[in-house]
A and B are shown apart, each in its own frame.
Chain A
Amino acid sequence: MSDDARRLRAVDVVIVGGGWAGSIMAKEMTEAGRSVVMLERGPDRSTAADGAYPASIDELEANFRYKLFQDLSKNTVTIRNNSRQTALPYRRMAAFLPGEGVGGAGLHWSGVHFRIPPDDLRLRTRVIEKYGAKFIPEGMNLQDYGVSYEELEPFFDKAEKVFGTSGEAYMVKGQVVGKGNVFSPSRSDHFPLPALKDVYTAHLFRKAAAEVGFHPYSLPAANASRQYINPYGVQMGPCNFCGYCSGYACYMYSKASPNVNILPVLRRHPLFELRAGCHVMKVELDAEGRRATGVTYTDPDGAVVTQPAEMVILTAFQFHNVRLMLLSGIGRPYDPARNEGVVGRNFVYQNVTTSNVWLDRGIDTNQYIGAGGGGVAFDDFNSENFDHGPLGFVGGSPVWVNQAGVKAIAAAHSGGPPGTPRWGSAWKAGVIDTYRHSLRIDAHGANMAYRDVYLDLDPTWKDAYGQPLLRMTFDWKDNDIRMNRYVVDRIGDVAKAMGARRVNLTKREFGRPFDTRQYQTTHLGGGAVMGTDPGTSALNRYLQSWDVHNVFVIGANAFPQGTGYNPTGMVAALAYWAAHHIRTTYLAHPGPLAG
Chain B
Amino acid sequence: MAWGKRLCLLAAVLAAGMMATPLARAQDQAPDHQLHGQDGDDAVARGEYMARVADCGACHTVPGGAPFAGGMAFHLPTGTLYAPNITPDRQTGIGRYSEAEFSRALRRGIRRDGATLYPAMPYPSYARLTDADVHVLYVYFMQGVKPVTHAVAQDGMVWPMSMRWPLSIWRTLYAPDPEAVRRDMDRRTFADPLVARGSYLVEGPGHCGACHTPRALTMQEKALTAADGPLYLSGGDVVDGWRPVSLRGENRTGLGRWNEHDIVRFLATGRMPLGAAFGGMADAIGHGTQHMTDDDRLAIARYLKTLSPAAPMVAQGWTYDPAVTDALRAGDVSARGARAYVDRCAACHRTDGRGYPTTFPPLAGNPVVMDPRPDSLIRIVLEGNILRATRQAPSAFVMPGFAARMDDRAVADTVTFIRAAWGNDAPAVTGVDVARIRRTLSPGHPPASLPMN
Contacts and interface: CB of A to CB of B under 8 A. Distances in A.
Interface of A: 44, 46-49, 52-54, 226-227, 232-238, 240, 242, 251-253, 259-260, 263-265, 267-268
Contact of B453 (A52, A53, A240, A260): A260
A265 B394 contact: yes
B452 A259 contact: yes
Nearest to A262: B453
B228 to A, nearest CB: 40
> Can you list the 3 inter-chain pairs with the closest CB atoms, starting with the nearest?
A48-B450, A235-B395, A264-B453
B186 to A, nearest CB: 43
Nearest to B386: A48
Nearest to A238: B356
13 contacts: A46-B453, A47-B398, A47-B451, A49-B450, A53-B400, A54-B405, A226-B356, A227-B360, A232-B394, A234-B394, A235-B358, A242-B347, A267-B452
Contact of B347 (A240, A263, A267): A240
A235 B359 contact: yes
A252 B399 CA distance: 10
B347 A252 contact: yes
A236 B348 CA distance: 12
Given A48-B398, A227-B356, A253-B397, A237 B348 contact: yes
Given A52-B400, A233-B393, A234-B394, A46 B360 contact: no
A264 B389 contact: yes
B273 to A, nearest CB: 11
B392 interface: yes
A49 B397 CA distance: 12
B357 interface: yes
Interface string B377-406: 000000000100100111111101000010
A48 B451 contact: yes
Nearest to B387: A235
Contact of B358 (A227, A242, A253, A259): A227
B119 to A, nearest CB: 35
Contacts of A227: 356-360
Contacts of A232: 394
Contact of B356 (A44, A237, A242, A260): A237
Interface centre among B348, B359, B453 (most CB of A within 10 A): B453
A235 B394 CA distance: 8
A260 B389 CA distance: 12
Contacts of A237: 348, 356, 359-360, 397
Contacts of A264: 389, 394-396, 452-453
A260 B398 contact: no
Nearest to B450: A48
B452 A235 contact: no
B188 to A, nearest CB: 40
Given A252-B348, A253-B359, A263 B453 contact: yes
Instruction: Place the interface of chain B in its size category.
Output: 20 to 34
A255 to B, nearest CB: 13
Contacts of A263: 452-453
Interface in B403-453: 405, 450-453
Nearest to B398: A48
B398 A52 contact: yes
Contacts of A49: 450
A240 B451 CA distance: 22
A52 B347 CA distance: 14
A409 to B, nearest CB: 22
A54 B347 contact: no
A531 B368 CA distance: 60
Contact of A235 (B393, B398, B400, B405): B393
Contacts of A238: 356, 359
Contacts of A53: 400
A50 to B, nearest CB: 10
B357 A233 contact: no
Nearest to B271: A235
Contacts of A242: 347
A54 B399 CA distance: 11
A54 B452 CA distance: 18
Given A238-B359, A253-B359, A233 B394 contact: yes
B329 to A, nearest CB: 15
B400 A236 contact: no
Contacts of A44: 452
Nearest to A266: B394
A242 B348 CA distance: 12
A236 B451 CA distance: 14
A234 B359 CA distance: 10
Interface string B335-368: 0000000000001100000001111100000000
B395 A260 contact: yes
Nearest to A241: B347
A46 B450 contact: yes
Nearest to B356: A227
Contacts of A235: 358-359, 393, 395, 397
A232 B360 CA distance: 19
B434 to A, nearest CB: 20
B395 A234 contact: yes
Contacts of B450: 46, 48-49
Given A47-B453, A54-B400, A238-B359, A233 B347 contact: no
Nearest to A56: B400
A268 B395 CA distance: 11
A49 B451 CA distance: 8
Given A53-B400, A227-B358, A268-B394, 16 more contacts: A46-B452, A47-B451, A47-B453, A48-B386, A52-B400, A54-B400, A227-B357, A234-B395, A235-B395, A235-B397, A236-B395, A237-B397, A240-B348, A252-B348, A263-B453, A264-B452
Contacts of B398: 47-48, 52
Contacts of B451: 46-48
Nearest to B402: A54
A460 B347 CA distance: 52
B431 to A, nearest CB: 23
A46 B360 CA distance: 18
Contacts of B389: 264
A267 B405 CA distance: 34
Contact of A48 (B348, B358, B452): B452
A496 B396 CA distance: 48
A235 B357 CA distance: 11
B95 to A, nearest CB: 29
